[in-house]
Structure 1
Amino acid sequence: MTLRICVFTEPHRGADYDDQLRFVRLVEAGGFEGFFRADHYQAMGTDPGLPGPTDAWLTLAALARETSRIRLGTLVTSATFRLPGPLAVMVAQVDRMSGGRVELGLGAGWYEREHTSYGIPFPPVRERFDRLEEQLAVITGLWRTPVGESFTYRGTYYQLLDAPALPKPVQMPAPPVIVGGRGPRRTPELAARYADEFNMPFKSVAETARAYRRVAEACERTGRAGAGRPPLVLSAGVVAAIGRTEAEARRRAAPLHVKSALPPEDPVIGSPAQLVDRLGEFSAIGANRIHLRLTDFHDLDHLELIAGEVLPQLDSMPRV
């Protein structure tokens, strides 16, 4: 099985819709599996992120009508941003607009500054994870409710009474749900209970392997395998700054050294061959899918370089 490669982007750093449309068309033409984007309302650090943020699901709806093959989704939508009922409607509608190509990454939310800037409540971390768990239950419950039946949910934070559970997505029984993160306890449990994919974002191969083991243990505890559910897709986020020369790679890596609110990462800075080697290491620990984070929407040559010199080498990569 070939390692599946998606592109992950951060439009809040400074990309309008036209920038994203130009980029996603090249992603599709280049043979990547999917285009995933962050869901943030503010740039991090001192960069203003001009011209400003674009709403993730509004953008993905438009891109769904401009593409025909690639998967589209978020890494990740924050559970603090939207109520779960309307979010389920929104994602199902975009899934229909795309012909069944949407995936929902959902997380607890972590960047306090964007919440205070835009008046979005930012509860303590325990409550944010409790809300995330309820949102996962509500969204998957709405999607999986048979047509003609209603959905009721009584939680601590969300209550739904006789929801018609419409519209239905194209993908049945539901679009894939992605849960990810570095958390050692609740994140693996939520992934085991609700997700189709677990994503470890932008850490070393060794740290990612430990996270995969925690998720496997959570799947055992929750009885996921015994319930007849398919195994979790295991994915990794990889930050890439690749060049034909060392100088070109260093130029592309320059934004990675700017002070940021993000935790430390483990980027691949160097040649296409170095990126192929790193992808092989992730494949060897069980990764099925890689989300390559590219920082510059205007550097289309970077995207073409990876499509032309990295993707073709993955077909022959040994799989575990």
Structure 2
Amino acid sequence: MTIDLRIFTEPQQGATYDDILAVARASEELDFDAFFRSDHYLVMGDGDGLPGPTDAWTTLAGLARETSRIRLGTLVTSATFRHPGVLAIQVAQVDQMSGGRIELGLGAGWFPQEHTAYGIPFPAKRFGILEEQLAVVTGLWETPVGEKFSFAGEHYTLTDSPALPKPVQSRIPVIIGGHGPRRTPALAARYATEFNVAFPDPGVLGDRIENVRVVCQDAGRDPDDLIYSAAFVVCVGKDEAEFRRRAAAIGRDPEELRTNGIAGTVAEAADKLAAMSEDGATRFYLQVLDLADLDHLELVAREVRPQLS
């Protein structure tokens, strides 16, 4: 089984574009499969978030021109932030700018404070918005050149759209994730190329993946047609002292990290990833919380990844 390791960042906690670029370039140089970022506009928890948020798709457009191999995407873009017609144009354009290296993670949105802080509507019921956005975005991309796309839904109406521009990829990968037992897996079965389980509690990853496989079968889709992935915070040291130093730098308890993340010594991290792969995940998003610690990325690439072969 091949295991993909992707770097996943949270720039809303406090990062400039140059900070993000440094991590993306290091991820590419170290041969990670992809560089992903969150799509948020407000710091979470303690901290002032300085210098302030960076827009996900503006950032990815820049990275598209300043990297050459690594895949780029969001985990995840909030459906509340952008009209689906605008989002389809943005993502297709960034895909062109990258030469076909873009992936779109799309979710319903969950953080009300960032919406009130920037005047973005935050409806109480958002699942229908997400469902229609997936229909519109994928429908626009899949409409043949020269034909028109129309859509009439509860939340969005598009009439005779030229459905341009087209992405470079014949199908931009769409990532859907969540913890619900039926509705979100059903969306994944219909629209996604990948299902992601973000920060699962210990022992539940295998059950979540198996549930999605059953939903796919019920929907008439081959469960093996989906990629199954998981996201975990990563905090690894070459020894116990270095691990604890890195845990302190991100304000996390070492033992909590060992329980819930990919954390500890190199051997512990490799063993945890191998165990999670036995649950059916073939791709892991490693949430890096200290963007200044590029040595951390190198340790994972040079010491942890070879043990997964």
Runs of 4+ in 1 over 4 A off after TM superposition: none
TM-score by length of 1: 0.92
Q: Which runs of 5+ in 1 are unaligned?
A: 259-264, 316-320
Partner of 1:30: 30
Task: Name the CA distance, whole Å, in 1 between partners of 2:103 and 2:201.
Answer: 25
Partner of 2:305: 311
Q: Tell me which amino acid in the other structure corresponds to 1:156.
A: E
Task: Name the CA distance, whole Å, in 2 between partners of 1:266 and 1:307.
Answer: 21
1:154 correspondence with 2:149: no
Task: Name the CA distance, whole Å, in 1 between partners of 2:274 and 2:10.
Answer: 25
Of the candidates 254, 258, 264, which is equivalent to residue 270 of structure 1?
264
Task: Name the CA distance, whole Å, in 2 between partners of 1:213 and 1:144.
Answer: 29
Task: Name the CA distance, whole Å, in 1 between partners of 2:26 and 2:87.
Answer: 28
How far apart are 1:205 and its partner, in Å? 5.3
Q: Tell me which amino acid in the other structure corresponds to 2:91.
A: V
Q: Tell me which amino acid in the other structure corresponds to 1:224.
A: R
1:211 correspondence with 2:194: no
Task: Name the CA distance, whole Å, in 1 between partners of 2:139 and 2:130.
Answer: 14
Q: Tell me which amino acid in the other structure corresponds to 1:106.
A: L
| Alignment map for 1:1-320 (pairs within 5 Å) | 1-124=1-124, 127-172=125-170, 174-204=171-201, 206-225=203-222, 231-254=225-248, 255-257=250-252, 266-315=260-309
Q: Which runs of 5+ in 2 are unaligned?
A: 254-258
Identity across matched positions, percent: 59
How far apart are 1:206 and its partner, in Å? 2.1
Answer yes or no: is the 8 Å Cα contact 1:234–1:287 preserved in 2.
yes
Cα distance change on mapping 1:35 and 1:208 into 2, 3 Å: same
Task: Name the CA distance, whole Å, in 1 between partners of 2:144 and 2:196.
Answer: 29
Q: Deviations over 1:80-109 (max 9, x none)?
A: 000000000000000000000000000000
Aligned residues: 303
Q: Tell me which amino acid in the other structure corresponds to 1:82.
A: R
Tell me whether 242-251 or 99-108 shows the greater mean CA deviation: 242-251
Tell me whether 175-184 or 150-159 shows the greater mean CA deviation: 175-184
Tell me whether 198-207 or 285-294 shows the greater mean CA deviation: 198-207
Task: Name the CA distance, whole Å, in 2 between partners of 1:15 and 1:97.
Answer: 23
TM-score by length of 2: 0.95
How far apart are 1:204 and its partner, in Å? 3.9
How far apart are 1:248 and its partner, in Å? 1.6
SS of the aligned residue for 1:206 comes to coil
Q: Deviations over 1:32-67 (max 9, x none)?
A: 000000000001123121111000000000000011
